[in-house]
């Protein structure tokens, strides 16, 4: 089944086209600077060919039209016709408490996404824009929303509530929601497969370390706690976000005369590695290089990053009643042997001992601890787009399976039998017209 995955930001539209049978990525890319000066298309085909071109697009509709044109282009295309796209999966950042699983888009779901725009003003409105662009460009093709918050909805109240009057939770939904859920879910499942264990029996501490960083305690595939909060500002030290901070410090800044918007910018865009290292970069590679040259502030930024992360791992070890593995993923987690070494070298007290050679050799998935370690450290590449494509396919297959005349997911019984893998266009028509 061919599934198009869309991640719509305020000025960008990222896409990946998957053939879910065999997990094959057919094409991916993005349009950047939509509605700004010099928008650009980057389009890459699975054989490695890359196209970069200026894109005269003023909005997400135009951007999607441009991408679709390339998908069926005689030179660059990977489809004979757009009707081969059987479903579209959308990354949606905030699903609040309402969405605990992927949802087939309808008016009610769009209303929910709009409702949570207050909690994710930079993300949910463009996510919805991407959905509506797809509805226009692919009329009748089912759209599915996959929420960053959904995987974390298993947290118990002791984890997700803030210690403030309960009425504020009831009135405003003030609570921890957590983000990067699609990544935490993907690496939890992938780690279980990689270790040859069932997810149900595993206790994992998953560390998603990219520009944004978060950590989750996952027991039997269920999140017990995570570090991001009502917004992605809470928790670990990140590229430009401060993570945990005394709310009293925020109040102090306001009392000194800073406006809410100024504090917002300070804590979300000027803090974290960027703010502490003071070298004009939030890129971990630059911070490490500057620290290795002996610069004091980048070294301090690195120490804070590692201290905070190791402290959370210790805390989640307790939350889980003892963890089986710590999982590193995201741009930093997958690529930085230095950060992994700095973190794991603090976990000896938990029975986690680094295998330096294994850590230096990592390509893809790997165990980087010694065989005697009672707590393993694992590197696991994340793939949020694939997870969205799989969840989209799974949701639609479940819906079809519930239909009275369907025997198996994805298979329709009529005069002759056919399978969704061989006739995705028909699947799309059935899905589009039946509910
Ligand atoms: P995003 O959160 O935007 O998806 P990524 O997951 O791609 O970001 O992670 C970006 C981060 O990964 C940047 O801080 C970058 O410096 C870091 N990174 C990528 N490669 C390396 C590397 N080899 N060593 C250290 N950090 C790296």
Instruction: Give residue 426's pLDDT.
Output: 41
Of the residues 47, 62, 107, 148, which is catalytic? Answer: 148
Tell me which of 182, 285, 331 to substitute to probe ligand 1's pocket, judged by most ligand atoms within 8 Å of the beta carbon.
331
Domain 2-147: top CATH class: alpha beta
Find, among 274, 375, 289, 294, the residue nearest to 338 by Cα: 289
Q: How far is the CA of 313 from the centre of ligand 1 (A)?
A: 20
Decide: helix, strand or coil at residue 218.
Answer: strand
Q: How far is the CA of 401 from the centre of ligand 1 (A)?
A: 41
Instruction: Output the CA–CA distances (angstroms, integers) from residue 387 to 106, 162, 182, in the order listed.
Output: 21, 30, 7
Atom of ligand 1 nearest to the CA of 330: 6
Please tell me if the domain spanning 2-147 has the same topology as the one spanning 197-384. yes
Average pLDDT of adjacent 10-residue blocks, the chain of 435 residues: 95 95 93 92 96 92 95 96 96 96 97 93 93 95 98 98 98 97 98 98 98 97 98 96 98 98 96 98 97 98 98 98 98 98 98 98 97 98 97 89 52 33 41 36
The full DSSP string for 243-295 is -S--HHHHHHHHHTT--HHHHHHHHHHS-HHHHHH-SS---HHHHHHHHHTT-
Domain spans of the chain?
2-147, 197-384, 403-434
Output the residue whose Cα is nearest ligand 1's atom 27. 332
- Verify whether residue 355 is a known catalytic residue: no
Instruction: Give residue 403's pLDDT.
Output: 63
Helix (H) or strand (E) run with residue 53 in it: strand 50-54
The full DSSP string for 77-138 is -S-S-GGGEEEEEEEES--TTT-SS-EE--HHHHHHHHHGGGT-TTTHHHHHHHHHHHHHHS
Instruction: Give residue 56's pLDDT.
Output: 87
Q: Who lines ligand 1 at CB under 6 A?
A: 210-212, 239, 283-285, 330-332, 335-336
Q: Does domain 197-384 have CATH number 3.30.470.30?
A: no
């Amino acid at each position: 089944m061919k599934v198009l995955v869309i991640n719509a930001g305020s000025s960008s539209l990222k896409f990946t086209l998957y053939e879910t049978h065999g997990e094959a990525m057919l094409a991916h890319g993005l349009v950047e600077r939509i509605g700004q000066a010099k928008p650009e298309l980057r389009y890459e085909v699975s054989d490695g060919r890359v196209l970069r071109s200026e894109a005269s697009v003023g909005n997400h509709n135009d951007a999607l039209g441009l991408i679709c044109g390339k998908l069926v282009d005689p030179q660059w295309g990977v489809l004979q016709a757009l009707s081969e796209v059987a479903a579209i999966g959308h990354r949606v950042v905030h699903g609040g408490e309402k969405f605990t699983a992927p949802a087939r888009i309808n008016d009610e779901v769009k209303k929910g996404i709009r409702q949570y725009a207050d909690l994710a003003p930079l993300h949910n409105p463009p996510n919805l824009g991407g959905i509506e662009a797809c509805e226009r460009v692919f009329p009748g093709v089912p759209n599915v929303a996959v929420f960053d918050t959904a995987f974390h909805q298993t947290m118990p109240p002791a984890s997700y509530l803030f210690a403030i009057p309960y009425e504020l939770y009831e009135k405003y939904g003030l609570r921890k929601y957590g983000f990067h859920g699609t990544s935490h879910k993907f690496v939890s499942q992938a780690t279980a497969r990689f270790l040859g264990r069932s997810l149900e029996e595993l206790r994992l501490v998953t560390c998603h370390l990219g520009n944004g960083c978060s950590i989750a305690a996952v027991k039997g595939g269920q999140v017990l706690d995570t570090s991001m909060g009502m917004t992605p500002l809470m928790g670990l030290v990140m590229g430009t976000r401060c993570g945990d901070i005394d709310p009293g410090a925020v109040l102090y800044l306001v009392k000194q005369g800073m406006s809410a918007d100024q504090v917002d910018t300070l804590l979300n865009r000027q803090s974290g590695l960027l703010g502490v290292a003071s070298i004009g970069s939030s890129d971990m590679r630059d911070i490490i290089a500057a620290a290795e040259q002996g610069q004091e502030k980048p070294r301090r930024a690195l120490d804070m990053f590692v201290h905070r992360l190791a402290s959370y791992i210790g805390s989640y070890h307790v939350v889980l009643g003892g963890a089986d593995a710590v999982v590193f993923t995201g741009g930093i987690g997958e690529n930085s042997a230095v950060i992994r070494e700095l973190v794991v070298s603090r976990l000896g007290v938990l029975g986690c001992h680094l295998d330096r050679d294994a850590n230096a050799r990592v390509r893809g998935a790997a165990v980087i601890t010694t065989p005697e370690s009672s707590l393993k450290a694992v590197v696991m590449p994340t793939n949020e787009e694939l997870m969205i494509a799989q969840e989209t396919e799974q949701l639609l297959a479940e819906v079809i399976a519930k239909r009275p005349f369907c025997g198996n997911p994805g298979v329709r019984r009529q005069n002759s039998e056919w399978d969704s893998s061989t006739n995705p266009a028909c699947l799309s028509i059935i899905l589009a017209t039946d509910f």
